[in-house]
Protein backbone atom coordinates (compact mmCIF):
# COMPACT_ATOMS: atom_id res chain seq x y z
CA UNK A 1 0.00 0.00 0.00
CA UNK A 2 1.42 3.38 -1.01
CA UNK A 3 2.32 5.74 1.81
CA UNK A 4 1.50 9.39 2.34
CA UNK A 5 2.97 11.58 -0.36
CA UNK A 6 3.66 15.30 -0.19
CA UNK A 7 4.56 17.67 -2.96
CA UNK A 8 6.72 19.50 -3.49
CA UNK A 9 9.46 18.16 -1.24
CA UNK A 10 11.43 21.40 -1.22
CA UNK A 11 10.36 24.96 -1.84
CA UNK A 12 12.05 28.33 -1.70
CA UNK A 13 9.87 31.42 -1.59
CA UNK A 14 10.30 35.11 -0.96
CA UNK A 15 8.68 37.08 1.84
CA UNK A 16 5.22 38.25 0.89
CA UNK A 17 4.56 35.45 -1.58
CA UNK A 18 2.06 32.68 -1.04
CA UNK A 19 2.53 28.94 -1.25
CA UNK A 20 0.38 25.85 -1.63
CA UNK A 21 1.46 22.46 -0.35
CA UNK A 22 -0.21 19.20 -1.29
CA UNK A 23 -0.75 15.96 0.58
CA UNK A 24 -2.11 12.67 -0.75
CA UNK A 25 -3.14 10.35 2.09
CA UNK A 26 -3.04 6.58 2.17
CA UNK A 27 -5.91 5.13 0.20
CA UNK A 28 -8.98 4.78 2.40
CA UNK A 29 -7.83 7.26 5.02
CA UNK A 30 -10.34 10.02 5.66
CA UNK A 31 -8.43 12.22 8.07
CA UNK A 32 -5.53 14.47 7.14
CA UNK A 33 -3.66 16.56 9.68
CA UNK A 34 -1.00 19.18 9.07
CA UNK A 35 1.93 20.03 11.33
CA UNK A 36 4.71 22.59 11.28
CA UNK A 37 8.06 21.38 12.55
CA UNK A 38 10.93 23.70 13.43
CA UNK A 39 14.10 22.97 15.42
CA UNK A 40 13.31 22.97 19.11
CA UNK A 41 9.57 23.49 18.61
CA UNK A 42 8.47 19.94 18.06
CA UNK A 43 5.37 19.29 15.99
CA UNK A 44 3.00 22.24 16.02
CA UNK A 45 -0.56 21.32 15.04
CA UNK A 46 -2.01 23.39 12.21
CA UNK A 47 -5.35 21.79 11.36
CA UNK A 48 -7.13 18.53 10.70
CA UNK A 49 -9.60 17.68 7.98
CA UNK A 50 -12.00 14.78 8.05
CA UNK A 51 -14.28 13.99 5.13
CA UNK A 52 -13.73 17.44 3.60
CA UNK A 53 -14.56 19.29 6.83
CA UNK A 54 -12.11 21.05 9.09
CA UNK A 55 -12.47 19.16 12.35
CA UNK A 56 -9.78 20.86 14.41
CA UNK A 57 -7.64 23.96 14.15
CA UNK A 58 -4.42 24.96 15.88
CA UNK A 59 -3.27 28.38 17.01
CA UNK A 60 -1.88 29.71 13.79
CA UNK A 61 -2.80 33.02 12.14
CA UNK A 62 -5.38 33.20 9.40
CA UNK A 63 -2.60 33.28 6.79
CA UNK A 64 -2.56 29.51 7.18
CA UNK A 65 -5.48 27.76 5.58
CA UNK A 66 -6.30 24.38 4.18
CA UNK A 67 -8.87 22.28 2.49
CA UNK A 68 -9.63 18.68 1.72
CA UNK A 69 -11.08 17.30 -1.46
CA UNK A 70 -13.58 14.51 -1.99
CA UNK A 71 -10.75 12.04 -2.70
CA UNK A 72 -9.25 12.97 0.72
CA UNK A 73 -6.29 14.77 -0.83
CA UNK A 74 -5.51 17.91 1.09
CA UNK A 75 -3.82 21.20 0.44
CA UNK A 76 -2.57 23.87 2.77
CA UNK A 77 -1.94 27.43 1.78
CA UNK A 78 0.17 30.06 3.43
CA UNK A 79 -0.31 33.63 2.24
CA UNK A 80 1.97 36.62 2.77
CA UNK A 81 4.92 34.48 3.76
CA UNK A 82 7.16 35.57 6.61
CA UNK A 83 10.70 34.47 7.42
CA UNK A 84 9.38 32.65 10.48
CA UNK A 85 7.29 30.38 8.26
CA UNK A 86 10.42 28.55 7.21
CA UNK A 87 9.90 25.02 8.46
CA UNK A 88 9.24 21.43 7.60
CA UNK A 89 5.53 20.96 6.96
CA UNK A 90 4.30 17.46 7.63
CA UNK A 91 0.98 15.96 6.83
CA UNK A 92 -0.35 12.80 8.39
CA UNK A 93 -3.28 10.63 7.43
CA UNK A 94 -5.36 8.20 9.41
CA UNK A 95 -8.50 6.20 8.91
CA UNK A 96 -10.24 7.97 11.74
CA UNK A 97 -8.85 8.75 15.14
CA UNK A 98 -6.15 6.15 15.47
CA UNK A 99 -2.52 5.99 14.44
CA UNK A 100 -1.32 8.61 12.01
CA UNK A 101 0.94 7.92 9.08
CA UNK A 102 3.22 10.81 8.26
CA UNK A 103 4.44 11.89 4.88
CA UNK A 104 8.06 12.87 4.21
CA UNK A 105 7.26 16.56 4.53
CA UNK A 106 7.77 19.70 2.48
CA UNK A 107 10.77 21.78 3.44
CA UNK A 108 9.80 25.45 2.98
CA UNK A 109 12.46 28.13 3.03
CA UNK A 110 11.38 31.78 3.03
CA UNK A 111 14.03 34.31 2.05
CA UNK B 1 -2.09 22.93 25.89
CA UNK B 2 1.10 21.28 24.84
CA UNK B 3 2.10 18.25 26.93
CA UNK B 4 5.43 18.38 28.69
CA UNK B 5 8.00 15.69 28.06
CA UNK B 6 10.94 14.75 30.26
CA UNK B 7 13.80 14.34 30.00
CA UNK B 8 14.59 16.54 27.02
CA UNK B 9 17.51 14.33 26.07
CA UNK B 10 19.05 11.08 27.19
CA UNK B 11 22.16 9.15 26.22
CA UNK B 12 22.33 5.41 26.75
CA UNK B 13 24.63 2.52 26.10
CA UNK B 14 23.25 -0.46 24.24
CA UNK B 15 21.35 -2.73 26.57
CA UNK B 16 20.43 -0.01 29.06
CA UNK B 17 16.89 1.03 29.88
CA UNK B 18 15.19 4.41 29.62
CA UNK B 19 11.88 5.96 30.57
CA UNK B 20 10.35 8.94 28.80
CA UNK B 21 7.57 10.80 30.54
CA UNK B 22 4.71 12.88 29.19
CA UNK B 23 2.40 14.97 31.33
CA UNK B 24 -0.53 17.25 30.69
CA UNK B 25 -2.38 19.83 32.74
CA UNK B 26 -5.67 18.77 31.15
CA UNK B 27 -7.71 15.63 31.42
CA UNK B 28 -6.69 13.28 28.65
CA UNK B 29 -8.64 10.97 26.40
CA UNK B 30 -5.62 9.34 24.80
CA UNK B 31 -1.85 9.48 24.57
CA UNK B 32 0.05 8.71 21.36
CA UNK B 33 3.74 7.95 21.02
CA UNK B 34 5.84 8.45 17.89
CA UNK B 35 9.52 8.16 17.07
CA UNK B 36 11.29 10.29 14.49
CA UNK B 37 14.74 9.42 13.22
CA UNK B 38 16.91 12.17 11.83
CA UNK B 39 15.75 13.22 8.39
CA UNK B 40 12.73 10.94 8.43
CA UNK B 41 9.04 11.27 9.16
CA UNK B 42 7.63 10.38 12.59
CA UNK B 43 6.55 6.76 12.94
CA UNK B 44 3.70 5.51 15.11
CA UNK B 45 4.63 3.49 18.19
CA UNK B 46 1.59 3.25 20.45
CA UNK B 47 -1.78 4.65 21.49
CA UNK B 48 -3.01 4.46 25.08
CA UNK B 49 -6.68 5.16 25.59
CA UNK B 50 -8.69 6.23 28.57
CA UNK B 51 -10.07 3.08 30.11
CA UNK B 52 -6.94 1.02 29.59
CA UNK B 53 -7.01 0.01 25.92
CA UNK B 54 -3.67 0.05 24.14
CA UNK B 55 -2.76 -0.33 20.50
CA UNK B 56 0.73 -0.51 19.14
CA UNK B 57 3.89 -2.44 18.59
CA UNK B 58 4.36 -5.47 20.78
CA UNK B 59 7.93 -4.60 21.65
CA UNK B 60 6.99 -1.18 22.98
CA UNK B 61 5.81 -0.76 26.55
CA UNK B 62 3.99 2.24 27.95
CA UNK B 63 1.65 3.25 30.73
CA UNK B 64 -1.12 5.82 31.09
CA UNK B 65 -2.14 7.22 34.46
CA UNK B 66 -5.51 8.84 33.80
CA UNK B 67 -5.76 10.42 37.24
CA UNK B 68 -2.43 12.19 36.91
CA UNK B 69 -2.72 12.82 33.14
CA UNK B 70 0.67 11.24 32.69
CA UNK B 71 2.12 8.63 30.39
CA UNK B 72 5.48 6.91 30.35
CA UNK B 73 7.26 5.10 27.54
CA UNK B 74 9.56 2.30 28.60
CA UNK B 75 12.53 1.41 26.41
CA UNK B 76 14.21 -1.71 27.73
CA UNK B 77 17.44 -3.33 26.59
CA UNK B 78 17.95 -0.45 24.17
CA UNK B 79 19.38 -1.03 20.73
CA UNK B 80 21.16 1.36 18.38
CA UNK B 81 17.97 1.48 16.29
CA UNK B 82 16.11 3.09 19.20
CA UNK B 83 17.96 6.35 18.64
CA UNK B 84 15.77 9.24 17.58
CA UNK B 85 13.37 11.81 18.92
CA UNK B 86 10.32 10.56 20.75
CA UNK B 87 7.13 12.59 20.73
CA UNK B 88 4.07 12.12 22.83
CA UNK B 89 0.78 13.47 21.54
CA UNK B 90 -2.34 13.97 23.60
CA UNK B 91 -6.03 14.23 22.84
CA UNK B 92 -7.98 15.94 25.55
CA UNK B 93 -11.42 16.34 24.04
CA UNK B 94 -12.64 12.87 23.32
CA UNK B 95 -11.93 10.78 20.31
CA UNK B 96 -12.09 13.60 17.77
CA UNK B 97 -10.11 16.27 19.62
CA UNK B 98 -6.94 17.74 18.21
CA UNK B 99 -3.73 15.76 18.70
CA UNK B 100 -1.16 18.03 20.34
CA UNK B 101 2.47 16.93 20.51
CA UNK B 102 5.09 17.63 23.13
CA UNK B 103 8.45 19.10 22.26
CA UNK B 104 10.13 15.74 22.04
CA UNK B 105 12.79 13.73 23.84
CA UNK B 106 16.01 13.00 22.01
CA UNK B 107 17.39 9.55 22.69
CA UNK B 108 20.89 8.55 21.64
CA UNK B 109 22.01 4.96 22.05
CA UNK B 110 25.73 4.38 21.86
CA UNK B 111 27.53 1.08 21.24
Name the DSSP letter for residue B103: -
Task: Quote the minimal CA–CA distance from A37 to chain B in Å.
Answer: 10
Question: pLDDT digits over B32-49, tens only?
Answer: 999 999 999 999 999 999
**pLDDT tens digits for B10-35?**
999 999 999 999 999 988 899 999 99
Contact predicate B72/B23, CB 8 Å: no
Contacts of A57 in chain B (CB under 8 A): 98
Decide if A102 contacts A29 (C-beta within 8 A): no
The beta-carbon neighbor of B103 closest among A42, A98, A101 is A42
pLDDT in tens, A12-67: 999 999 999 999 999 999 999 999 999 877 899 999 999 999 999 999 999 999 99
CA dihedral A5, A11, A17, A18 (to 10 degrees): 0
> CB-based contact (8 Å) between A42 and chain B?
yes
- Please report the pLDDT score of residue A8 as a whole number: 98
Q: Decide if A98 and B100 are in contact by the 8 Å CB cutoff.
A: no
Listed residue (B9, B11, B17, B23) closest to B86, CA to CA? B9
Q: Count CB pairs under 8 A between chains A and B.
A: 56
Q: Are B56 and B33 in contact (CB under 8 A)?
A: yes
Judged against a pLDDT cut of 90, whether residue B59 lies above it is answered with no
**Mean pLDDT over the full length of chain B:** 92
Q: Above 90 in pLDDT, residue B107?
A: yes
A15 vs A109: CA distance, rounded Å:
10
Amino acid sequence: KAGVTQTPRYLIKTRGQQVTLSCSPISGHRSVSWYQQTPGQGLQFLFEYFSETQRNKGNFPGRFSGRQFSNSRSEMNVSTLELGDSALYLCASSWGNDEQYFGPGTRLTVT
Amino acid sequence: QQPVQSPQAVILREGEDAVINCSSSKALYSVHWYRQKHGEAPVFLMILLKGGEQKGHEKISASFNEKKQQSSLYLTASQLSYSGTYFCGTRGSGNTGKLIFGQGTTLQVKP
